Amino acid sequence: MWSSPFITTPTSVSQIMLRVLLALIPGIALYVWYFGPAILVSLTLASITALATEAIMLKLRNRPLKPFLSDNSALITGWLLALSIPALAPWWLIVVGTAFGIVIAKHLYGGLGNNVFNPAMIGYAVLIISFPAHMTHWISPNTLGGIGLSFVEQLNYTFNGVLPGGLKLDAVTMATPLDTLKTQLHLGLSVDVIRDMPIFGYLGGKGGEMVAIGFAVGGAYLLLTRVISWVIPATYLGTLFAIAAIFHLADPAHYVAPLFHWFSGAAMLGAFFIYTDPIGSPTTHRGQVIYAAGAALLTYLIRTFGGFPDGVAFAAVLMNICVPLIDAYSQPKVFGKKGDGK
Amino acid sequence: MISALLVMIGISLLLGAVLGYSAIKFKVEGNPLVEKIDAVLPQTQCGQCGYPGCMPYAEAIAKGEADINLCPPGGEEGIRKLAELLGVDFKPFGEGAGPRAKAVAFIDENTCIGCTLCLQACPVDAIVGAAKQMHTIIASECTGCELCLAPCPVDCISMQTIPQHIGNWKWQYPTHSIVQVAAR
Amino acid sequence: MRKLFKFHGGVHPPTHKTESSRTPIVQAAMPSKLVIPLHQHVGNRAVPTVQVGERVLKGQIIGRPEGRLSSAVHASTSGTVSAVDMQVVAHFSGLPDLCVTIIPDGKDEWIAHSGMDYKQTPHSELRQRLREAGIVGLGGAVFPSDMKSYSHKHKIKTLVLNGAECEPYITCDDLLMRERANEILRGAEVLRELLYAEEVLIGIEDNKPEAIAAMRQAVADDGHARMEVIAVPTLYPGGGAKQLIRVLTGIEVAAGVRSTEKGVQCFNVATAYCAWRAITFGEPLLSRIVTVTGNVERAQNFEVLLGTPVDELVAQAGSKADTYKHIMGGPMMGVDLPSGAVGVTKATNCIIEASQAMFPPPQAAMPCIRCARCAAVCPAELQPQDMYWFAKGKDFGKTQEFHLFDCIECGACAYVCPSHIPLVQYYRFAKSEIWQREQEQQAAEVARERHEFHMLRIEREKQEKAERLAQKEKAALAAKPAAPTPLPVAADPNADPENTLQMRIDSAVAHSNMQMRIDAAAARAKEQVATEQPKNTDALTPQQQAEIAEIEARRAKFHEIASHPGADDESPKQ
């Protein structure tokens, strides 16, 4: 005997997670198109590490392997981390980050559903604090005349640290647009001048802006399939736009236009894939609005005034901490108890 | 220098006055902790804790003389509540000292000799009867403390567990979680 | 077009209604026996009024309502009572309850009955009739209808007639509205009269166009004033009384509040129909429409005598061989029947025959990922994921802070949960634990009071004894004033009498006397045990012995029944 209801929808956790992975594919495809196949190497490494550490932790915690390995949540952690850090990096960088995220941020908190923080963002935070130098080697996009590395050449660099034809690392990498913007502003240049530099495209950085569009397309798919609700992405992007617009209008020479914030860095990835992680975000509508607005504010502040080039990951971790508090103070009124009786 | 000293003295006097006033104004009669502990105890008055009733046990706990895991009728839930109330760690029951199924006493009226000993033993006056008259137990008032069993000279009192029926049936804790299923 | 309101959330499970709604209602065959539970309604269990072996007539009361909140139970046909005992009933627990078993004689012979004109009859009498006719809410909540048809405290503006029937598979109300619309509406007039209600709103989900048309036709034909048939959107649980009231009137009735306080009362359409039959023809509630569907050859609606064993009913619809269980009610809130032998009750609106393919056993539950899909569909606007979290950790105080008792157990949350967590079961578990704890707390309060009184009494007795002793001593002193050598203990008459040696001696003597007597009794008893004469009843005449045996038997039976005190402490849903 069991208790009603006797029917359920066919939706499952692993299906939801699988859709998230699928939604990342347009962005990844554009990434490969503009930056070469390096990202595929780190995605593969991240996937293997994520599944392996997940399996080891499940075994140690005496949990069943199959249902948890097939829920695809570990893969999401690996993929999000791989997409957040430079693709051209020694193999151990992504391995350490992913393993740290899965072991410390996920399983030591009780595994799927119990983690306070987004494991991928914890992995990112650990890497950028521990290995800041390695985290700056972003590949130049092909459109900038960058030397496109083949898949084999990528592998050779990842595992042996050798670039083809005695190339220096600087020849194939560059600072990110956000980083460039920040350093150039420090040098006293105005936004207009900086934006004329070759690495900048129409919306954000060359190549990067297209990847961001890819992520937005994936996000639209998630919205349409109701995997995520519109509240967090809309609030996040809206707030980010509003804050950036205020600063930009007040002083266009020092503060870049809002669209640039949307399409550079990990803002789109964050809006649709990181902040929408249900485990680390509030469950109430009002709470989600507060959470996403707070994340946008922190992202902007860290990007504009902070010491790190991008603020998406730190904003996620900082807002994750606030979730229980936000939930507690944003409880909606229940049916029939809204005061006016109507 | 002098003014700073004066200010400090002034502040300390003021705070002292406030403290003294509140000590008088909000004085608590009796020991509220004992009453709080007593409210958690199940009031079976069974003495299984080694104290002659729930209140004495509550007093002993409040004084720190007794452990919190001595009350089988309260169950583990009771220990948990006491632990929370007193801010100490949960402590499981000792070996073989756990709670038993809830039961009420039952007098075999064909054997009862009407000695009234059980009447005197019952802490909640749940047994009716008079000398040389048959006794019977008001089942709804019986706390199941078993204090009437020992005094009965003819052993005519037995404990009957309360059977499960539709009126007292409870929903079970669901056991569908993937971890439980895998452990089966 | 009337303005309709929305309630939060809701789900769209596949309706599966057309399977059983294509053919008209069929009279079910007379079963071989009727197992009629005496507790088919919210409130106290009815008290059996028939003996084993007694012949009963159709419509005869076999269970008398007990207390204010209760309802009568009747023999559904004429026949012989073959048992009054504990039988498995349609309840989540699968436990037995008191039932009357009747073997039908096939004559279907009515007891004398007569109707009344509701317009000429005082309301108290009408309500009494409803109670004696065993009319209860037939939507599944089985709340006695006489208790719902008062309006003395609050002015009732709107009578809502619930024909929404939102649960999948069930079509009994649909068919009833199609075939017997006139009588439903007349029943609504009776209820309107009892409530002094101004308007009658009949809510029917828009997936039942035939029923809507039939009801609209009947309203027009009979010229009912201020009565409107309203098509409401199909959305589960739109047929919940509170949700339907919300949709039709915009009024939200909170948990623990009676809808009458807000000027609305709600009855199921089948209840209105039965109320009409009871008032106008004097026919008590003996049968109801039951949808038999699912894994059957011919899904359809039957008019079924209450007490008909489910096995015999589903056989008439051609239950297929791979049926592995029967669900009573809908798939969202129904009961997994413990056995096919249980009798159809007033709450049985539907029997779904379940095969493994249609209703696979529940999957193992993954951890909650806080996706809040449950919160999005909750019609009570709760946060199911938080209630689950605390129910899982058995932190029942917290579950109540998250409004556990506002949960109507509609199952929408568990239906959408991607982790397949049996959420409703967690809430039911938490609710029953909280109820039990409250009962235990009350029992502890009573025990504390009784113990305090006990201690007081002992103290008083001690004092009285001491006083008596002191008086005795005084009297003794007065009698021998010139005694040359008074006892040293009596030298100071003002001494605390309790501490006097004399008293101690007295009580010791008394105690030892007592102890001696008790020891003697114990010895006697032991001797009796040894000589196999344990009972104090052995020296009696055979006649007395027989009497005692009879009394013991009666007592045993009473004990059995009394230990099942019925439902005054149960949730209304059961």
Distance CA A280, CA C461 (A): 67
Structure tokens at C320: 């297929």
Tell me which residue of A330, B21, A71, A297 sits closest to C419, measured CA to CA. A71
Selecting from A8, A112, A338 the residue whose C-beta is nearest the C-beta of C420 gives A8
Of A219, A175, A183, the closest CA to residue A199 belongs to A175
Domain B32-86 superfamily per CATH: Electron transport complex subunit B, putative Fe-S cluster (1.10.15.40)
Q: How confident is the model at residue C58 (pLDDT cuts 50, 70, 90)?
A: very high
Average pLDDT over residues C397-422: 93
pLDDT tier for residue C514 given thresholds of 50, 70 and 90: low
Query: Is C95's Cβ below 8 Å from some Cβ in A?
Result: no
Instruction: Give the pLDDT confidence of A43-62 residue by residue, as tens digits.
Output: 999 999 999 999 999 999 99
Interface contact A336-C242, CB threshold 8 A: yes
C3 by Cβ neighbours in 10 Å (0-12 / 13-18 / 19+) ranks as exposed
Residue C438 covered by a domain: no
| CA B122 – CA B104 distance, rounded (Å) | 12
Distance CA C415, CA C424 (A): 10
> Residue C557: what pLDDT?
66
In tens, the pLDDT along A233-276 reads 999 999 999 999 999 999 998 899 999 999 988 999 999 999 99
| Residue A285 Cα, gap to closest chain C Cα (Å) | 9
Contact A64/B171, CB-based, under 8 Å? no
pLDDT values of chain B reduced to their tens digit, one per residue, 184 residues: 899 999 999 999 999 999 999 988 887 776 778 888 888 888 888 888 888 888 889 889 888 888 888 888 888 888 888 888 888 888 888 777 777 777 888 888 888 888 888 888 888 888 888 888 888 888 888 888 888 888 888 888 888 888 888 888 888 888 877 777 766 6
Residue in chain B lying closest to A64 (CA): B182
Task: Decide if B170 touches C, using CB distance below 8 A.
Answer: yes
CATH number of domain containing C229: 3.40.50.11540
Distance from CA of B84 to the nearest CA of A (A): 22
pLDDT, position B123 = 86
Q: Is B152 exposed, middle or buried (0-12, 13-18, 19+ CB in 10 A)?
A: buried
Q: Is residue A166 classed as helix, strand or coil in its secondary structure?
A: helix
Domain boundaries, chain B: 32-86, 101-166
For chain B, give percent helix, strand, coil, nearest 5: 40, 10, 55
Query: In C166-321, where do the E strands start and end?
Result: 199-205, 227-232, 264-268, 287-294, 300-305
Cβ contacts below 8 Å, chain B against chain C, sum to 126
C146 found inside a domain: yes
Residue C514 inside a domain? The answer is no
What pLDDT score does C486 carry? Answer: 45
CATH no. of B101-166: 3.30.70.20
**C554-563: long-range contacts, CB 8 A cutoff, minimum separation 24:** C560/C86, C561/C98, C563/B162, C563/B163, C563/B165
Domain ranges, residue C161: 122-283
Find chain C residues with C-beta within 8 A of A3's C-beta. 92, 336, 422, 424-425, 428
Decide if B182 and A67 are in contact by the 8 Å CB cutoff: yes
Test the A interface: residue of C371, C377, C423 with most A CBs within 10 Å = C371
Q: For residue C502, what pLDDT is reported? A: 54
Task: Inspect the interface and report whether the beta carbons of C93 and B125 lie closer than 8 Å.
Answer: no
pLDDT digits (tens, 9 = 90+) for C163-198: 999 999 999 999 999 999 999 999 999 999 999 999
Q: Per the CB < 8 Å rule, is A67 touching B171?
A: no
Chains that touch B (3 or more CB pairs under 8 A): A, C
Chain A positions in Cβ-Cβ contact with residue B178 (cut-off 8 Å): 64, 67-68
Give the position of tokens 């056993």.
C361
Tell me if C518 and B153 make a contact (CB, 8 A cut-off): yes
Whether the CB of A3 is below 8 Å from some CB of chain B: the reply is yes
Give C213-234 pLDDT, tens digit per residue.
999 999 999 888 899 999 999 9
Residue C194 lies in a domain: yes
How confident is the model over C90-125, as pLDDT tens digits?
998 889 999 999 999 999 999 999 999 999 999 999
Alpha carbons A270 and C307: distance in angstroms, whole number: 61
Residue C518 has a pLDDT of 59
Q: What share of chain C is helix, strand, coil (3-state, %, to 5)?
A: 40, 15, 45
Chains in contact with A, where contact means 3 or more Cβ–Cβ distances below 8 Å, are B, C
Given this model, what pLDDT does residue B38 score? Answer: 87
Nearest CA in chain C to B145: C447
Q: Which of residues 49-88 of A touch B (CB under 8 A)?
A: 63-64, 67-68
Length of chain B: 184
Cβ-proximal residues to A316 (8 Å cutoff; 6+ apart), any chain: A117, A118, A121, A270, A274, A275, A280, A295
A112 → closest Cβ in C332, C336, C367: C367
Rg (C-alpha) for chain A, rounded Å, is 21
Would you say the C-alpha torsion C459, C460, C463, C465 has a positive or negative sign?
negative
pLDDT mean over C274-293: 95
- CA-nearest residue to A278 within chain C is C371
Residue A148: predicted pLDDT: 64
